[in-house]
Structure 1
Amino acid sequence: MLLVPTQDYAQRKKKNKRKNNQTSTTSNGLKPYSAVITASAETDEGLFKTHKVKEAYYFELPDSLLNREMLLVSRIAKIPANLGGGYVNAGSKTNEQVVHWERFDTKILLRVKSYAAVADSTLAISKSVAVNNYEPILYSFDIKSISPGGDGLVIDVSKFFTSDVPAISGLNAGLRKRYKVKRLDANRTFINSVKSFPLNIEVKQEVTFEAAEPPSQSRAGTISLQMNHSMILLPKKAMQPRIFDPRVGFFTISQTDYGSMALKSDQKTYIRRWNLIPKDVEAYQRGELVEPVKPIVYYLDEGTPEYLRPYIKQGIEDWQKAFETAGFKNAIIAKDPPTKEEDPEFSPEDVRYSVVRYVASTTRNAVGPSVSDPRSGEIIESDIIWYHNHLRSYRNRYLLETGAANPSARTLNTSEAEIGEMMRMVIAHEVGHALGFPHNMAASNAYDVESYRDSSFTQQNGIAASIMDYARYNYIAQPGDENIRFIRQLGPYDHYAVNWGYRYLPEFASAEAEQQTLNSWIKDKEGDPKYVFGRQSSRFDPASKTEDISNNSIQASTYGLKNLKLVAKNLPEWTSAKTNDYQDLEELYGELLGVWSRYVGHVAANIGGVHENIKMPDQPGKVYEHVDEATQKASMQWLAKNAFNTPDWLVDPQILQNIDHAGYFERLRRVQARHLNSLLSFDRIGRLIDAETFNENYYSASEMFRDLRSALFFELKNRSSSNIYRRNLQKSYVERMEYLLTELPSNRSYSRPGFESGIQYNVNTSDLRSLVRGELKNLRNDLQLARAVARNTVTRYHYDDLADRIKQMLNPK
């Protein structure tokens, strides 16, 4: 109820032509109301009145909403093809900012307020926070008139939404530079619509920029976007926040509190969550399941295909069991969209409604964004976005990753029940994001590798301890394993995280008072891998990798490759032989290379890997521990056999010669080189060198270099000829070594192949370049000896070429 504005607005919106031609004058020389809001105005009532008069749009701001905090959220509603290289989608949020309207003489100022720096208003330092964090003016509007009752200020917002205002623009500085944007074209920029709802204002804006190199339709020389701007009234009193603990995964908001007594500003981080309060607190505290005062409700988009609706609803309501762990029943509900007769005012744009939007787009993706109060982390609204073609990706991976052990996956016409189950779990994953949960990449590391071949285990536990991991299918199960569950599902971690974040604790008057209890819940699960959270950003941790399953990547990838070989052998029979068309074969072969690459990457992550064990000082053990030496050596041997020794089964002429006229060897070289570059990256080698600081017997960088050279150039010792794939890979190695010898790494995320993260050492003064130079000298000597006894001309030329390249690297002058 706190969200309802003080004006006596009806809950129904009213769109009408104004008939009241009132002409009373106002003070300060302003125009009469009737001269601005004319009889022809189209008026919409809600949070405040909005008016359209010919081509102009007006806001009528009541005095009671001046200085009330609102959340201004800008999203891309419609997008040109390939904007951002495919990483920006319709529905992408471009900015989220707290604003408030402020009167200054005859103007209304729209100010941006930040909660990055705070202090209690009763403390003297709050005055310093205010003057050192002065709120910028986003835009200044002239007051055009005053409402007849004297309590409303009329401003023209047309220019604001048709000018190039960076804070609400769909193109950031990086995209403008990338596409060489010149300017916003005012003649092709206009307001599509303005709608007023009880708690929010929605503005749709068409914007067109002149661009020299647009992402698509280059001859047009423009980039056109449709933007949607939501202005949402925030509660007068913020929800009591819950302090974030890194051992449990949640999206967060952060503030710097200058009222702290810690002799410095205090960083406060709160989790993002919905505000669930039980209807009957006493029953809740007795341990009974109680419905929340305001449940989380998701409506389905009216454009959602009928046959998919039951699965989407199931995916949403799968979270009900997890909320029961937190003491709530019916906490999250899925509903069909109401008909016009049932609710003529229903709109997906109304902030009171969260919607699963079904988007007719070729994009293969689904996202679960949400809008939250930056003061407390309270999630106000969220829309799950499902793109139509996303199921194609799941069908393909289902065939490739489970087809060997799962006969029902060996088809392009996957059954509706199986497709529906996949969609159900994707929706459940995206709903998890909308509930505040990030990816938990350690959840798939909770189960033993052999458990994935056990029918009772997989049927009960699925394939990961959380739906929030990127663990989509059981690729470990082997042909002959029966009654296996191949598709993911919610797990014990999800119940644990919902209880930790959502359990109502009325006995505590502050967020700080809750912390001891919340900490005890974490310590109760200490040592159990099912309740471990692994950050997606821990790219150095092999236990927190995407798309992997089990606690043994070597054995899991061995099982995975065994299955993939069987699938590759049968791929033409399961595709082109059925359709009399090679299109699906080409698509699936390309994705099969990607699956192979993922299995290889899971093993490669062990080399130079560091486990991140998020814990507090009162818990035993270290936070960061290097992967043990035996696992790293075994991983290098596995890579030598399965990644760098030519995987001939991937170059099947029955596939390649039916999907393209050329490029056969380059396809394989590209994916092999990706992992070669990953091993030979600045950050990985730096971690190997780092580990020697504490353990001289650790798998050292010099051992890694030596083992890799032996794997890539075994022909030099056994005097055998190398085939085209080996020669290409060997050249890629020499090229990468030159890169390590000569390039300067960035201190931030590196853009070149190799997946480098932030570099934390000086490359020039470390052992890295010494090791590279020494390896190149040894290789050059071996090449010169081997070329004399090379058995064919091409091999001899190849060795000469590599020796000359290395000589040039070592002596560039």
Structure 2
Amino acid sequence: MVTSLPQGVGSNDIGLDRGQLGQTRMVQFERQGPYILLKQLNTQYRANTTDAAEQRAVAEAFADSVLWQGKVIEGKPDLVAVNDLVLNDLHGVSSVLQQTEQGNYRLDLSRSVILPKGIKSFEKNADVDVQLTFKGDVAGTQVAQVTPDGTLMSVRMRYSFVELPDTDYQPRAYHPMSGYLSDEYRDYATPFDQPLVQRFILRHRLQKVHPGPAPSEVVKPITYYLDPGVPEPIRSALLDGARWWETAFTRAGFINGFKVDLLPVDADPQDIRYNMIQWVHRATRGWSYGAALTDPRTGEIIKGQVTLGSLRVRQDYLIAKGLTAGWQDRVAAEKAATALSLARIRQLAAHEVGHTLGLDHNFAASTNQDASVMDYPHPKILLKGNDIDISAPYTTGVGPWDDFAIAYGYSDQGDARTQQALQVDLLADVAKRGLRYIGEADSRQKDASQAYASLWDSGDDPIEQLGKLDKIRTKAIAGFSSVALLPNEPLGELADAFAPIYLLTRYQIDAVAKFIGGTDYNYQSIGEGSRWSYIAPQLQLTGLDALLKTLDAASLTVPQSLLDSLVPKAGNYHATRESFDSGLGAINDPLGMAEVFSRYTVSLLLMPKRLNRVSQASMADSEQLSVTMLLDKLFAATLYQEDKLGLVEGVWMRVNAVVIDEVLATLHDSQTSPEVRAAINDRAQFVIKQLKAKSNRANASLAAHYTWLQQGLAAGLTDAKVKLIPKPLTLPPGSPI
């Protein structure tokens, strides 16, 4: 049994989207006297054996969950009313609203009903749709934005009872280097000298007509269907991108093994046999997802469900418009912006379908010449001569890592021994070719240690790429103008279009920051043989220098001619989450822009776990970057840089305040090690002396600034509440692009 949402809430922040799959539950109906029970079986603990006593020992050791009990209707021994089963919040909507800080919403049964037209039965599944209304005492902020009455939120929920597949399917063991999503259970029938936890990959059933290593037609292809509600030209782009996987399956030996079509007019997407790609609207741009309904016994994917956020393409178009604002040929600029947006849509379709084929993210692929569509790609932007070029923003087709992953998970060699031998060979081959794979857990966190796995970065050399992208940013800012606006938009919207251009290097800064105290390792070997190491000292120093250049006050200062055109919002146009925060009221704040962007870099650089690694690496290797060296270089690049003029001086002063605040925040962070705290305290004492000396030699304005920094730093060493900027301005959102 699985719940889903035929109707979503429409808020990325809440995350209850149209088409969302809920928890998969393996259930059975049981007759107990005059009652029917719906029991969720415990699939996490098993005994894979034919010994009934062993199986019983495990079954009786762990609890099941009775989800519902209904009384058989008198005189009709095979009939029971399930109204109170389905008029229930098994999807967990109330919990999600609470977790997303929308307040306490409760299911209101007086406003909830079973929908007769939503009761359907198909070959493999039976569905019941209900409309559930959730009542809150106070309207949640996000709920109020997407509902007519924020205290009453009504959505459609679906209960699908799905026939389990037959047992002919053979699970395939999970290897951490395989690139697959996985499931697991504990098998108490295994000998004590074998692993208790058994892990298997998630994948579709795909069989050759003629099993074995030779290419063969398939018994039944894996087929995906696109939501017909997608408009052109996006529809064609999505079909093109999703079909990229055809080549990977062909290379793995499956002739016509994968197809993508538009959902036929007479088809019902509720039918569990249809793998769906849905086009989902929200109030704000948000994530797209690739989810799957799987057999909890084996990991077989029963239904793939792709959710594509419709506003994503608008963000890419906005970025492209900003990058091409300086082009003289406006027709070419418009074509280039459209082409970039559709190229991204193709890549997005391939990425999310990849998840529903069982593949996990590979956030290291960007450092391997974009070897996988399972990375998060940044558009490729070049400087050709003195012009910005976006003619090839994204790669086309799946990459070599994707070919490997499909071959590893789906290939059919005819027998188990030959199949396992092929998988060993495939792993050896990717190692020989130097293909990196780093999954979700080691990548998404900004303080993750793996240096070669980041989101939205680009280039085989992230440090070099940051320098290149910074030059492109400078060029884009110099050419930015009102032509970046959409048709009929007032000039007050120009600052929102400028935001992703001003912040263009933010993701590459993420990637380079991971080199500081960074490590390198892989998942290639299960047992002995795999090693990890800190990033080489010179590479860390080069990365640090690249990061510190992004704090240069001149590069953070918006040119006055451009600033003059960033007029306040007009009339009934209002600031949104995409707008720069301002300390000046309605007008745009150039020092505020510098504040939020510099804080982004400095906070990444001073993350406690990052500095903890820097500290321990330097203890083991005196050549490594130390915390003292890092802090000295940071202060030299900011606090000690004088001789600024005009607005640039104001930006420099604001950046200095950010640096002091972030240093103090790290000092008092509970995750910061005592060794790092000692180093911060030592360098802070030195900085206090330097600032005091500078204040005695400077002009009145600089003297006041140095004295203020000195006093704030001194007070903040013992009082964690001290901040030079009590209420920091907020940064416009980045992900997803």
> Smaller-chain TM-score range?
0.7 to 0.9
SS in 2 for 1:299: strand
Alpha-carbon spacing, 1:583–1:353, altered in 2? closer, same or farther (3 Å): farther
Q: Does 1:270 align with 2:177?
A: no
For the residues of structure 1 that align with 2:492 and 2:128, how far apart are their CA atoms?
42
1:450 maps to what in 2?
A: none
SS in 2 for 1:205: strand
For the residues of structure 2 that align with 1:403 and 1:575, how far apart are their CA atoms?
6
1:203-226 CA distances to partner (integer Å, 9 max, x unpaired)? 222222222242332864233332
For the residues of structure 2 that align with 1:406 and 1:236, how far apart are their CA atoms?
63
1:316 maps to what in 2?
A: 242
TM alignment of 1:16-27, pairs within 5 A = none
Q: Does 1:526 align with 2:431?
A: yes
Given that 2:223 and 2:274 are in contact with CA atoms closer than 8 Å, whether structure 1 keeps it comes out as: yes
TM alignment of 1:354-433, pairs within 5 A = 354-364=275-285, 365-400=287-322, 411-412=333-334, 419-433=341-355
SS in 2 for 1:501: helix
1:501 maps to what in 2?
A: 409
Q: Does 1:799 align with 2:706?
A: yes
Specify the code of the residue in structure 1 equivalent to 2:200: Y
Alpha-carbon spacing, 1:482–1:612, altered in 2? closer, same or farther (3 Å): same
Alpha-carbon spacing, 1:481–1:309, altered in 2? closer, same or farther (3 Å): closer
Specify the code of the residue in structure 2 equivalent to 1:442: A
Alpha-carbon spacing, 1:621–1:142, altered in 2? closer, same or farther (3 Å): closer
Q: Does 1:209 align with 2:209?
A: no
Given that 2:46 and 2:58 are in contact with CA atoms closer than 8 Å, whether structure 1 keeps it comes out as: yes
Displacement of 1:744 after TM fit?
2.0
Given that 2:306 and 2:353 are in contact with CA atoms closer than 8 Å, whether structure 1 keeps it comes out as: yes
Displacement of 1:362 after TM fit?
4.5
Alpha-carbon spacing, 1:404–1:438, altered in 2? closer, same or farther (3 Å): farther
For the residues of structure 2 that align with 1:565 and 1:710, how far apart are their CA atoms?
23
Displacement of 1:239 after TM fit?
1.6
TM-score normalised by the chain length of structure 1:
0.78
Gaps of 5+ in 2: 443-447, 569-586, 721-737
1:436 maps to what in 2?
A: 358
Given that 1:395 and 1:414 are in contact with CA atoms closer than 8 Å, whether structure 2 keeps it comes out as: no
Alpha-carbon spacing, 1:127–1:593, altered in 2? closer, same or farther (3 Å): farther
2:223 maps to what in 1?
A: 297
Specify the code of the residue in structure 2 equivalent to 1:107: Y
Displacement of 1:647 after TM fit?
1.3
SS in 2 for 1:670: helix
Q: Which moved more, 1:693-702 or 1:646-655?
A: 646-655
For the residues of structure 2 that align with 1:406 and 1:613, how far apart are their CA atoms?
47
1:727-763 CA distances to partner (integer Å, 9 max, x unpaired)? 2221122222222233323xxxxxxxxxxxxxxxxx4
2:728 maps to what in 1?
A: none
Displacement of 1:236 after TM fit?
3.7
1:26 maps to what in 2?
A: none
Alpha-carbon spacing, 1:484–1:309, altered in 2? closer, same or farther (3 Å): closer
Given that 2:371 and 2:400 are in contact with CA atoms closer than 8 Å, whether structure 1 keeps it comes out as: yes
SS in 2 for 1:207: strand
1:312-340 CA distances to partner (integer Å, 9 max, x unpaired)? 2222222111101110011111223323x
Q: Does 1:471 align with 2:377?
A: yes
Specify the code of the residue in structure 2 equivalent to 1:740: T
Displacement of 1:177 after TM fit?
8.0
TM alignment of 1:536-555, pairs within 5 A = 536-538=440-442, 539-555=448-464
SS in 1 for 2:30: strand
Q: Paired residue for 1:137, among 63, 66, 75?
A: 66
1:451 maps to what in 2?
A: none
Displacement of 1:109 after TM fit?
0.7
Q: Which has the larger radius of gyration?
A: 1
For the residues of structure 2 that align with 1:508 and 1:243, how far apart are their CA atoms?
11
Gaps of 5+ in 1: 1-71, 448-463, 746-762
Displacement of 1:651 after TM fit?
4.8
1:734 maps to what in 2?
A: 660
Q: Which moved more, 1:684-693 or 1:577-586?
A: 577-586
For the residues of structure 1 that align with 2:104 and 2:198, how far apart are their CA atoms?
39
SS in 1 for 2:632: helix
Displacement of 1:176 after TM fit?
5.8
1:48 maps to what in 2?
A: none
Q: Does 1:701 align with 2:627?
A: yes
Specify the code of the residue in structure 1 equivalent to 2:502: L
For the residues of structure 1 that align with 2:408 and 2:199, how far apart are their CA atoms?
16
Alpha-carbon spacing, 1:240–1:173, altered in 2? closer, same or farther (3 Å): same
1:568-592 CA distances to partner (integer Å, 9 max, x unpaired)? 2222153249867426633321112
Given that 2:466 and 2:546 are in contact with CA atoms closer than 8 Å, whether structure 1 keeps it comes out as: no
2:683 maps to what in 1?
A: 775
Specify the code of the residue in structure 1 equivalent to 2:670: L
Displacement of 1:641 after TM fit?
2.0
Specify the code of the residue in structure 1 equivalent to 2:69: S
For the residues of structure 1 that align with 2:694 and 2:41, how far apart are their CA atoms?
70
Q: CA RMSD in A?
A: 3.0
Q: Does 1:260 align with 2:165?
A: no
For the residues of structure 2 that align with 1:737 and 1:93, how far apart are their CA atoms?
43
TM alignment of 1:470-489, pairs within 5 A = 470-476=376-382, 478-479=384-385, 485-489=392-396
Displacement of 1:348 after TM fit?
0.6
For the residues of structure 1 that align with 2:603 and 2:454, how far apart are their CA atoms?
18
Displacement of 1:438 after TM fit?
1.6
1:237-283 CA distances to partner (integer Å, 9 max, x unpaired)? 162111111112111111111111135761111111111001123xx
Specify the code of the residue in structure 2 equivalent to 1:105: G
Given that 2:325 and 2:484 are in contact with CA atoms closer than 8 Å, whether structure 1 keeps it comes out as: no
TM alignment of 1:179-190, pairs within 5 A = 179-181=102-104, 183-190=106-113
Specify the code of the residue in structure 2 equivalent to 1:616: S
2:272 maps to what in 1?
A: 351
1:127 maps to what in 2?
A: 56
Q: Does 1:107 align with 2:35?
A: yes
Given that 1:398 and 1:473 are in contact with CA atoms closer than 8 Å, whether structure 2 keeps it comes out as: no
Alpha-carbon spacing, 1:618–1:105, altered in 2? closer, same or farther (3 Å): closer
TM alignment of 1:741-756, pairs within 5 A = 741-745=667-671
2:573 maps to what in 1?
A: none
Given that 2:179 and 2:360 are in contact with CA atoms closer than 8 Å, whether structure 1 keeps it comes out as: yes
Identity %: 20
Displacement of 1:548 after TM fit?
1.5
Alpha-carbon spacing, 1:177–1:671, altered in 2? closer, same or farther (3 Å): closer
Alpha-carbon spacing, 1:178–1:577, altered in 2? closer, same or farther (3 Å): closer
Displacement of 1:617 after TM fit?
5.9
TM alignment of 1:561-576, pairs within 5 A = 561-572=470-481, 574-576=483-485
Displacement of 1:295 after TM fit?
0.7
Q: Paired residue for 1:158, among 83, 93, 103?
A: 83
Alpha-carbon spacing, 1:715–1:360, altered in 2? closer, same or farther (3 Å): closer
Specify the code of the residue in structure 2 equivalent to 1:488: T
For the residues of structure 2 that align with 1:651 and 1:201, how far apart are their CA atoms?
62
TM-score normalised by the chain length of structure 2:
0.86
Q: Which moved more, 1:112-121 or 1:771-780?
A: 112-121
For the residues of structure 2 that align with 1:630 and 1:146, how far apart are their CA atoms?
83
Given that 1:296 and 1:332 are in contact with CA atoms closer than 8 Å, whether structure 2 keeps it comes out as: yes
Alpha-carbon spacing, 1:635–1:77, altered in 2? closer, same or farther (3 Å): same
For the residues of structure 2 that align with 1:788 and 1:410, how far apart are their CA atoms?
57
SS in 1 for 2:538: helix
For the residues of structure 2 that align with 1:146 and 1:236, how far apart are their CA atoms?
35
1:598-650 CA distances to partner (integer Å, 9 max, x unpaired)? 2322222211111232221677561x221111111112222222234441454
Q: Which moved more, 1:168-177 or 1:303-312?
A: 168-177
Higher relative contact order (CA 8 A, sep 6+): 2
1:52 maps to what in 2?
A: none
